[in-house]
Amino acid sequence: MPRYFFHVHDVEPSSDRHGEDLPDDEAAWREATSFAGQLFKDIDGRFRPGQAWSLEVTDEAGKPIYRIQITSKGQISS
């Protein structure tokens, strides 16, 4: 079973050193979206205008498979 790694890039970046065995890329995508939702919810007001947040999924060789990214901007004039 392939191993996938979930790396967070945000205010407090973290690198997944253990990974998770999942059946395929589709299962990794489902896990990534669920994990991203949980993590972003826990940011709880620390995400500020001008910052970016992302979750990158890589395979065992370190090749990026997926990236979920959220960016913010300050005041937008109309």
pLDDT of 11 strictly over 70: no
Tell me, rounded to whole angstroms, the distance of Cα 49 from its chain centroid: 18
Task: Please check whether residue 63 lies inside any domain of the structure.
Answer: yes
Q: Are 31 and 25 in contact (CB under 8 A)?
A: no
Task: Please check whether residue 13 lies inside any domain of the structure.
Answer: yes
Task: Please check whether residue 33 lies inside any domain of the structure.
Answer: yes
Mean pLDDT of 54-58: 95
Task: Please check whether residue 77 lies inside any domain of the structure.
Answer: no
Predicted local confidence at residue 12, as pLDDT: 66
Closest CA to 36 of 7, 75, 13: 7
How far are the Cα atoms of 16, 59, 71 from residue 6, in angstroms, in the given order?
A: 6, 9, 19
Task: Please check whether residue 78 lies inside any domain of the structure.
Answer: no
Task: Please check whether residue 11 lies inside any domain of the structure.
Answer: yes
Mean pLDDT rounded to a whole number for the chain: 89
Domain that holds residue 47: 3-71
Residue 34's pLDDT band, with cuts at 50, 70 and 90, is very high
Task: State the burial class of residue 18 (Cβ atoms within 10 Å of its Cβ: 0-12, 13-18, 19+).
Answer: exposed
Task: Please check whether residue 15 lies inside any domain of the structure.
Answer: yes
Number of domains in the chain: 1
Task: Please check whether residue 76 lies inside any domain of the structure.
Answer: no
